[in-house]
Amino acid sequence: MIPREVVESPQFMEYAAAYREQFSLFDQVLDAIIWLLARDPETGTQIEAWGPEYWLIKTQAKGRTPAFRVLYTFHETQVQLLTIARIEADEF
C-alpha cells in the first residue's frame, strides 16, 4: 500500500502555526496524525450530517499538550486536512 499524500489547507496551516508556538510537542502530534491518515484515513469517524466526504479524528492529550480534533477529507491518493482545534478538558 502506498501512503496517500497529505495536504494542509490554509486554515489548517494557520491554526497549526499557532498551536506549534503554544505546545512544544505539537509537531509530534501532527506527525502522528499525518502518518496515520496517510495510511488509513478511515480510522477516523465519518461526519455523515455534513456529507460522506467529511471525517474527524481526535488525539489524546500528552503532558502539557492538549488533545486535538482534525477535520479532513480524502480520496484514493490524497488526504486534505481542513482544520484543527484544541479539545478543552471539559469536552471529553
Domains contained in the chain, CATH given: 5-91 (3.30.2310.20)
- Predicted local distance difference test score (pLDDT) of residue 81: 98
pTM of the model: 0.92
- Predicted local distance difference test score (pLDDT) of residue 13: 98
| Residue pLDDT, tens place only, 5-48 | 999 999 999 999 999 999 999 999 999 999 999 999 999 999 99
Distance CA 43, CA 21 (A): 28
DSSP-derived secondary structure letter, 64: T
Q: Percent of the chain having pLDDT more than 70?
A: 97
- Band (91; pLDDT cuts 50, 70, 90): low
C-beta of residue 18 within 8 angstroms of C-beta of residue 26: no
Distance CA 84, CA 17 (A): 11
3-class secondary structure, 79: strand
- Predicted local distance difference test score (pLDDT) of residue 56: 97
Q: Which of 56, 58, 80, 83 is nearest to 4 (CA)?
A: 80
Identify each DSSP E strand in the chain by its residue range.
5-8, 45-46, 55-58, 67-74, 78-87
